């Protein structure tokens, strides 16, 4: 199968270094403190934040910082063809831990001692780049809940196909089993929060792909920031502040 045509277009019509169309919506669910919908192409992820509030289990509360909890689930219809196994798999436990790790470094946990922040993530459709979409959705929901953060965290994936680094792989491209890297970045502080590469690759390849993913993170962060600002402006207008 050909992943990049001679004209330099990928199977979904993108250029090799092009992100899919990003869409961010806020306040999509009613019974939580903050919620967001993040969409990258067909990949669609909901996130809801509960808190900060008193820890459910008192013994788990930390005296010097907030406790971050993360729940992850994907819908039975989230993948195209075959029905996936239900329940919590090892992969979904790992994904929840990854998102929690990224958020622990992003939220100003030391400002919220003894409190708990719970982040729930629901994948509606998985078309590649799910880890990155989960982190981005969680970040947007945390912002919607008004929880103080050090910096925005934005994540993006990249891969290596046909000797060429490709940004933001979709499911068909990722299913080839080549190198795929997921990176999360604090764009203003310029810190890498998460890096995950799951295939054998030379150092040069990894570096090229990671650099591309980092550029993707910055672009995604820009789009997310713009969406957040727009949302806040519309909120302020509704309350008559401007």
Partner 1 sequence: MLHSKAERAYLQQGFDAGLRSDGRGCHDWRPVEVALAQLPQASGSARCCVGGTEVLVSVKAEVRTPTEEAPGCGGIQLAVEVSPCAGLRLQGRGDEELGAELTRALERCLLSQANGAGGCLDLSALCIVAGKSCWVLCVDALVLSADGCVLDALSIAAKAALADTRIPLVEVTQADEDGDAELELDDDPTHAARLDTARVPVLVTVSQVGAALAVDLNAEEGACAGAALEVAVDARGRLCGATMRAHSAPLHPSSLQEMLGLAQRLGPRLLRELDRQIGQSAAAASVAMQE
- Comparing CA positions, the residue from 125, 205, 214 lying closest to residue 171 is 125
Only segment of 14-22, 30-38, 156-164, 198-206 that touches partner 1 (CB under 8 A): 30-38
| 124 lies in the site for partner 1, by CB under 8 A | yes
Rounded distance between C-alpha atoms, residue 168 and residue 158, angstroms: 5
Least distance (Å) from partner 1 to the CB of residue 47? Answer: 7
Give the residues across from 50 on adjacent strands: 118
End-to-end CA distance of the chain: 54
55 Cβ contact partners less than 8 Å away, ≥ 6 residues apart: 61, 67, 114, 115, 116
| 46 lies in the site for partner 1, by CB under 8 A | yes
Handedness of CA 141, 146, 152, 153 (dihedral sign): negative
Residue from 16, 17, 25, 42 binding partner 1 (CB under 8 A): 42
Q: Which of residues 126-185 bind partner 1 (CB under 8 A)?
A: none
| 87 lies in the site for partner 1, by CB under 8 A | yes
Would you give the binding string for partner 1 spanning residues 51-80, x where CB under 8 A is met?
-----x--------------xxx-xxx--x
Residue from 63, 85, 86, 239 binding partner 1 (CB under 8 A): 86
Only segment of 1-9, 42-50, 156-164, 205-213 that touches partner 1 (CB under 8 A): 42-50
Give me 222's structure tokens. Answer: 């820009």
Cα-Cα-Cα-Cα torsion 196, 201, 204, 206, nearest 10 degrees, comes to -20
Q: Which residues bind partner 1 (CB under 8 A)?
A: 29-32, 35, 42, 46-48, 50, 56, 71-73, 75-77, 80, 83, 86-87, 120-122, 124-125
């Amino acid at each position: 199968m050909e992943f990049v045509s001679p004209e330099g277009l990928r199977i979904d019509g993108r250029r090799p270094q092009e992100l899919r169309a990003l869409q961010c919506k806020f306040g999509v669910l009613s019974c939580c403190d903050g919620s967001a919908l993040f969409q990258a192409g067909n990949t669609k992820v909901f996130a809801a934040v509960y808190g900060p509030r008193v820890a459910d289990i008192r013994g788990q509360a930390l005296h010097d910082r907030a406790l971050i909890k993360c729940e992850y689930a994907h819908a039975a219809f989230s993948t195209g063809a075959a029905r996936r196994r239900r329940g919590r798999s090892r992969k979904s436990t790992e994904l929840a831990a990854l998102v929690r790790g990224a958020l622990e470094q992003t939220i100003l946990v030391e400002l919220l001692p003894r409190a708990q922040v719970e982040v729930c993530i629901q994948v509606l459709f998985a078309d590649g780049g799910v880890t990155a979409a989960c982190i981005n959705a969680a970040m947007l929901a945390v912002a919607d809940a008004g929880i103080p953060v050090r910096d925005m965290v934005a994540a993006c994936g990249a891969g290596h196909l046909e000797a060429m680094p490709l940004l933001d792989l979709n499911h068909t491209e990722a299913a080839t089993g080549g190198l795929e890297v997921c990176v999360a970045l604090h764009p203003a502080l310029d810190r890498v929060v998460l890096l995950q590469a799951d295939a054998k690759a030379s150092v040069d390849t990894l570096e090229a792909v990671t650099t591309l993913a980092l550029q993707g993170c910055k672009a995604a962060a820009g789009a997310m920031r713009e969406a957040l600002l727009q949302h806040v402006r519309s909120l302020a207008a509704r309350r008559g502040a401007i």
